[in-house]
Structure 1
């Protein structure tokens, strides 16, 4: 998956990568050539006290060094451009893929895991691309080229390299092999700590209300300790690896000095050649160490690439039709035709035998006990889930055959738990329609019974809204969410228990304003309070995921036991 992911994205930057290869090649050649120049200066210039030779070759050596530095800088710049672009493109594609997921896929991966995959996992792949681009040529060229150049300097000492390099490779393979499973465990633990942290931040009010701070702190401590343990094990292997590398390198250099000194004393090797051989040994070991460092990065990046690839390869259960229908013959009409829905892996369907319709301008209410399937039912209208049996038609078109964007344009959804985004009141309301004027926003707020409290805010429409709307009350959040749906100007409004935080008076005024100001808009209302839906044109009664009645309030009160029980249980509240 790692190679597939890198090839898929880096092929767009082939010219940058070609520049990296060219300049890294030039930098590596210059690095390999410098010890030879140094040997020549010592062997000939210093030995013969030829000052002119020393200055001439010294200046050339300085020029080669400057060229090597310049090539390395340019190669690193190109590599950074390619790697940063790679990270940007992967993050953009992961975000686009997740945005197309249905609720099913989001629940399957988990919000915390999806965030980790689009940040930390992408960063691991990006770092590998960066390091790989800068070391891809340098490491093998220094290792292989160093061997060749060292042998050219002195064949007699080459046996030291033949011993040191295999020992270095064996150590690297043994230690890196133990790192691979640890990296996979580490990423999983990172998911866990992100999930725990996210839950505690979003549920901070509940935590404090139930005095659960010590327990949540212990829960976080456990997750934190788990990831620390794995990280410590990985760190221990890193700590072990580099000292062993340096030990092998230093022992090899000591061997070169020892046996080379014998050769120099015997007159078989010149001192400059010995120095050059030592430099080449260092370059060879450096190349092998760089390759080992790359090999250490590859397992973690491979794990991260697999996790990113799982998201990119995941097929949303909500498939977009190639030639989706964009024209709706009956705008505002909603028809449930023998609908059945089963969650993946569930033993029994959540909904079965759902069969009703809502004509343009009508109000259809959905009632039932907790867990009856009301939220699941209305989620099928904007196609947050796909039915597993029967069909849902909006505007006379099966939602699975409709163009998704056109379908969503005609539906305004107010979820059970309304969510507001960081920004202002105006920016949140314009989430429904960006070109809405201030007059449109005030009109929507007036219908949603939110005009008064927004007017009292310090900056009116430009008043700040915190993430999730935590700086406004639950009732204000609901009214802002309703106003946002109205600004959208849909043909169908879906209210999923969206009046639960409102007092009875505000609830009544809001419903009257909706019915009065939006007579042509179809309204699908999920409600717990009977008073909210007594005026509905049609009431659908659910019990255990099955329709047990449909009709007006009076008709159901006279003929439906389930509905009558619901009404009687609330008589003391909604009399």
Structure 2
């Protein structure tokens, strides 16, 4: 088991250590029981001594009860240890993901992370439970049973010295042949989960375009491939049982032949032969148990590597001990900023960006698709780190801030922002969990959301389904703006987040910003010129470079890109009228 993962055992170490201890006690009882049975047969029954039979029978029952007690105790402790271990693993993975930057998250797909926290952890949990219980039981059972067999009959004991390595090697060979197929399965699980996630998230698009059959076929192909991989692996593993059964019957036949001859010659008694057969079955079953656990561990090995990959991922952004925890104001400076998603050797998305935004200003950003508008603003709350240069907020490099303190003062509203399951009150309070009902309602009024919320039968107690699919795109955007405003940030970034509202509502939102939060720096990314026309400064981006900065009037005179956009929208709108 991977050392990184074993750190998650933590408070369940006691159960993990006590499980093998009780298993060993259970094995001792089980090994002694056949010996008592032999004595009852060879002494009590052979001599017709009823008192001896009763005496030994009581001891036998006591041993069986103790074995049952030790077995149940070991099983309970193994279940607690394994379930607790998996609980801690889920906690550790989820906690680690919360520390990831966007760049870290980009290394793993959403479906891949979900598979790791579900299927992979379940595999590790099962392997861990079997390891602390069955792996402690099987080897000791094999050794003690073989020793008892050696005491009773050396010839049979020598037979097992040949059978055990031969059978064990065969079963391990079978398990190793199946292992590569199990590794492939879990990679395909990611693809399968991704297909389901895409289909559910885009269910409206699927139905709108009547693509249900296509999606079913796509899912069927992936599902069939997972099935074929599992089938190949299981067909190989299926050889375990017939090989085991064949060996078991052959060994028992040989033992009966040897034992029968020994009984005839008087060198062995009937009870001893019975005990040897029981010990033989214990040895063979323990061997099969070892290989079964070995198969589970090999299945879990692939899962272990995938989980460890997440736990060993170093968060790209970590707070220093002397991190700044107070953001002075909303001033923003881009000092010769370069940025690439692929790192220093990648293609630059932003190229030598120099920009100075005064605290409290309203800034508009416009540009074509792929001009790096969203990339630019994502550097402000340090969702990504610059590749070159520096971004400063309140006069301090964002890399020197405590991340929580910085992001508390920089609110971002995305075009495709997310609402969570819960009431409207609960969703808005993501911005400030201690906010009063009045404060929530006030920011909703500023975001022009109060009107439609009041029309719901339950008002602000209306339940939002997962993803906010029971509200329109424009309603969702306004609720997300309200949530951002509740943080009372020093910087508010709207990343094309009024695209789904009409121009009148858009104008009312901007009017509320001017009047109610004049000291907050407001950055508005928009495709509509009307959304940013009255901004203090408008930034024109093209291919990751700033091609113009100024007011709308200034840019109409000096910037060809802005002029083309303005004329196409304003004149086009006039013609349509």
Alignment of 1:184-199 (within 5 A): 184-199=183-198
Alignment of 1:257-406 (within 5 A): 257-328=256-327, 330-344=328-342, 347-406=346-405
Alignment of 1:123-272 (within 5 A): 123-272=122-271
Paired residues of 2:178 and 2:237 also in contact (CA < 8 A): no
CA distance in 2, matches of 1:144, 1:572: 91
SS of 1:413 mapped into structure 2? strand
Q: CA deviation at 1:12?
A: 4.3
CA distance in 2, matches of 1:296, 1:211: 44
Q: How many residues align?
A: 573
CA distance in 2, matches of 1:347, 1:429: 38
CA distance in 2, matches of 1:538, 1:131: 66
State the Cα deviation string for residues 187-243 of structure 1 (Å, max 9, x = none): 001111001111111111222222222222111111101100001112212322112
Q: CA deviation at 1:562?
A: 1.3
CA distance in 2, matches of 1:303, 1:322: 37
State the Cα deviation string for residues 551-571 of structure 1 (Å, max 9, x = none): 111111111111111111111
Paired residues of 2:423 and 2:461 also in contact (CA < 8 A): yes
CA distance in 1, matches of 2:414, 2:280: 68
Q: CA deviation at 1:423?
A: 0.9
Q: Which residue of 2 aligns with 1:541?
A: 540
SS of 1:157 mapped into structure 2? helix
TM-score, normalised with respect to structure 1: 0.97
Q: Which residue of 1 aligns with 2:50?
A: 51
State the Cα deviation string for residues 509-550 of structure 1 (Å, max 9, x = none): 111112111111110110110001011011111011100010
Structure 2 unaligned blocks of 5 or more: none
Paired residues of 1:321 and 1:400 also in contact (CA < 8 A): no
Paired residues of 1:531 and 1:574 also in contact (CA < 8 A): no
RMSD: 1.4
SS of 2:7 mapped into structure 1? helix
CA distance in 1, matches of 2:569, 2:5: 61
Q: Determine if the alignment matches structure 1 residue 484 to structure 2 residue 483.
A: yes
TM-score, normalised with respect to structure 2: 0.97
Q: CA deviation at 1:447?
A: 0.6
Q: Which residue of 1 aligns with 2:68?
A: 69
Q: CA deviation at 1:157?
A: 2.2
Paired residues of 1:412 and 1:486 also in contact (CA < 8 A): yes
Question: Residues 6 and 336 (structure 1 numbering): CA distance in 2 closer, same or farther, change over 3 Å?
Answer: closer
Paired residues of 1:530 and 1:574 also in contact (CA < 8 A): no
Paired residues of 1:142 and 1:286 also in contact (CA < 8 A): no
Q: Which residue of 2 aligns with 1:3?
A: 2
SS of 1:15 mapped into structure 2? helix
SS of 1:319 mapped into structure 2? coil
CA distance in 1, matches of 2:16, 2:453: 55
Paired residues of 1:19 and 1:75 also in contact (CA < 8 A): yes
CA distance in 2, matches of 1:103, 1:326: 22
CA distance in 2, matches of 1:572, 1:561: 16
Alignment of 1:94-109 (within 5 A): 94-109=93-108
Question: Residues 136 and 240 (structure 1 numbering): CA distance in 2 closer, same or farther, change over 3 Å?
Answer: closer
